[in-house]
Homo-oligomer: A and B are copies of this chain.
């Protein structure tokens, strides 16, 4: 016989489909949910559906938003001449957390990765070029992660944008703040040496 009642089994399976959630954790989460009052459970279900239904990609920058254009693209307080190019909407959130960047974003929704079959046309590069061509852009900051794919994507974009006369920069790579020189890998250490500045 089944170990759990069918509706419980189904819920466990749904939790198991989430990334990083194994069978045991899925069971723990499902039983936690079953112990909640019904309105809490329906609230959770509603949040799931509404988050999916009420959000779209911003038609300007590609960021995840509930209004189009997104709040950043339509804000008069932001500097629309500086575009920060990131891989995903989560990276926008990470950048916003530092409360330092006052420009706007461009979300690629992916990185160039020949191994995964993702080419330049599969991510939002064309719309970025269009923005640079039609708007008055002073600087494009390439803020993809310093991985092989992130680096390749940044190089690819910079090669297109530079001839267009726009200043193209890349975020600094080096030892993380609080990190230990001794444990840094060679490439990171090299990058931190290469990117040294006068103090």
A residues with a Cβ closer than 8 A to B are 1-8, 10-11, 13-14, 17-20, 25, 27-34, 36, 38, 41-55, 64-67, 70-72, 75, 88-90, 92-93, 96-97
Contact = CB atoms under 8 A, between A and B. Distances in A.
Contact of A8 (B3, B31, B64): B64
Contact of A52 (B20, B38, B51, B65): B38
Nearest to A28: B19
> Which secondary structure dominates where chain A touches chain B?
helix
Contacts of A33: 18, 48, 51-52
A148 to B, nearest CB: 22
Contact of A66 (B7, B13, B31): B7
Contacts of A66: 5-8
